[in-house]
Structure 1
Amino acid sequence: MSAFADDTAKDEWKFTLKNAYINRNFENENLKDTGSWSQAASLFYNSRMVDTPLTITDKPLKIGVDASVQYAVRLSSDKHVADTVLPFDRETQSQAPDYLKHGATLKLGYDKTLLSVGELWLDLPVTAVDASRQLLTSYWGTNLKSQLTDQLYAEIGRVEKVSPRNAEDFQKFSFTSNGKTEYSDGLNYIDLRYQVMPSLKAEYYFGNMQDLYNKHYLGLDHSFNTENFTLGSKFKYFNAKEDGNNFNIDAQNIGLLETLKVNNHTFGLGYQQIIGESAYPLPDGFLPETYFINWNATGFFKKDEKSYHFIYGYNFKDYIPGFNAAVKYVYGDSFKTADGKENNESESNIILNYAFQQPFLKGLALQYIRIDYNVEHGNDFGEDRLFVNYTKRF
Structure 2
Amino acid sequence: MYKSSLALAVALGVLAQQAGAAGFVEDSKLSLSSRTMYFNNDNRDVQENAQGRNGDQREVGQGFKLDYLSGFTEGTVGFGVDVQALWGIHLDGGRGRHPDNNNFFPSDTDGSAVSQWARIGGNAKARFSKTEAHFGSALAPNLPILVSNDGRLLPQTFEGGTIQSKEIDNLTINAGQLTHAMGRASSNRTGLSVAGATQDSNKFRYGGLDYKVTKDLTLQYYYSNLEDFYKQHFLGLTHVYQIAADQSFKTDLRYFDSSSDGKNGQAGYQFSNNGGYAKKTGEVDNKTWSAMFTYTLGGHALMLGHQQVGDDGGFVWLNQGNVVDGNGRNEGAGGSSFYLFTDSMINQFARAGENTTFGQYSYDFASLGVPGLKASVAYLRGDDIKNARTSGTYNEWERDARVDYVIQEGTFKGLGASLRHGIYRGSGEAGADMDQTRLIFNYTYNFL
Using structure 1 for the length normalisation, give the TM-score.
0.92
Alignment correspondent of 1:386? 439
Alignment correspondent of 1:313? 362
Distance 1:24 1:184 in 2: 31
Q: Does the 8 A contact of 1:236 with 1:293 survive in 2?
A: no
Distance 1:39 1:190 in 2: 36
Distance 1:176 1:261 in 2: 36
Alignment correspondent of 1:364? 415
Alignment correspondent of 1:330? 380
- Is the counterpart of residue 284 in structure 1 residue 327 in structure 2? no
Distance 2:134 2:162 in 1: 5
Q: Does the 8 A contact of 1:130 with 1:288 survive in 2?
A: yes
- Is the counterpart of residue 270 in structure 1 residue 317 in structure 2? no
Q: Does the 8 A contact of 2:148 with 2:337 survive in 1?
A: no
- Is the counterpart of residue 146 in structure 1 residue 196 in structure 2? no
Distance 2:203 2:335 in 1: 15
The DSSP-based 3-state class of the residue aligned with 2:147 is coil
Unaligned runs of 5+ in 1: 1-5, 53-59
Change (3 A) 1:244 1:276: farther
Alignment correspondent of 1:259? 294
**Which of 10, 13, 20 does residue 27 from structure 2 map onto?**
10
- Is the counterpart of residue 62 in structure 1 residue 78 in structure 2? yes
Q: Does the 8 A contact of 1:34 with 1:83 survive in 2?
A: no
Range moving further from structure 2, 30-39 or 302-311: 30-39
Q: Give 1:108-147 correspondences, 5 Å limit.
A: 108-118=126-136, 119-147=138-166
The DSSP-based 3-state class of the residue aligned with 2:411 is helix
Alignment correspondent of 2:256? 238
**Which of 349, 353, 361 does residue 304 from structure 1 map onto?**
353
- Is the counterpart of residue 102 in structure 1 residue 120 in structure 2? yes
Deviations 1:244-270 (A, max 9, x none): 142211011100000111011000001
Alignment correspondent of 1:86? 105
Q: Does the 8 A contact of 2:58 with 2:98 survive in 1?
A: no
User: How many matched pairs?
Assistant: 379
Q: Does the 8 A contact of 2:178 with 2:205 survive in 1?
A: yes
Q: Does the 8 A contact of 1:157 with 1:190 survive in 2?
A: yes
Alignment correspondent of 1:215? 232
**Which of 169, 185, 191 does residue 188 from structure 2 map onto?**
169
Partner amino acid, structure 1, of 2:407: F
Deviations 1:117-136 (A, max 9, x none): 10312101343222211100
Q: Does the 8 A contact of 2:422 with 2:436 survive in 1?
A: yes
Q: Does the 8 A contact of 1:127 with 1:287 survive in 2?
A: no
| Same amino acid, percent of matched pairs | 24
Q: Give 1:26-45 correspondences, 5 Å limit.
A: 26-30=43-47, 31-45=54-68
Distance 1:287 1:25 in 2: 18
Post-superposition offset of 1:83 = 5.8
Distance 1:193 1:321 in 2: 32
**Which of 372, 396, 408 does residue 345 from structure 1 map onto?**
396
Q: Does the 8 A contact of 2:159 with 2:178 survive in 1?
A: yes
Distance 1:290 1:176 in 2: 13
Change (3 A) 1:325 1:171: same
Change (3 A) 1:246 1:129: closer
**Which of 220, 225, 228 does residue 203 from structure 1 map onto?**
220
Distance 2:23 2:223 in 1: 33
Partner amino acid, structure 1, of 2:260: E
Post-superposition offset of 1:35 = 4.2
Alignment correspondent of 1:48? 71
Post-superposition offset of 1:80 = 4.1
Deviations 1:44-89 (A, max 9, x none): 111111114xxxxxxx110100000010100113334126111235
Distance 2:86 2:404 in 1: 23
Distance 2:355 2:337 in 1: 17
Post-superposition offset of 1:342 = 2.2
Alignment correspondent of 2:178? 159
Change (3 A) 1:211 1:29: closer
Range moving further from structure 2, 360-369 or 319-328: 319-328
Change (3 A) 1:68 1:97: same
Distance 2:391 2:227 in 1: 32
Alignment correspondent of 1:75? 91
Q: Does the 8 A contact of 1:68 with 1:102 survive in 2?
A: yes
Q: Does the 8 A contact of 2:149 with 2:337 survive in 1?
A: no
Distance 2:159 2:200 in 1: 16
- Greater share of strand: 1
Change (3 A) 1:316 1:232: same
Deviations 1:5-56 (A, max 9, x none): x94962111211100111111111414202421001211111111114xxxx
Distance 1:279 1:29 in 2: 25
The DSSP-based 3-state class of the residue aligned with 2:180 is strand
Change (3 A) 1:126 1:376: same
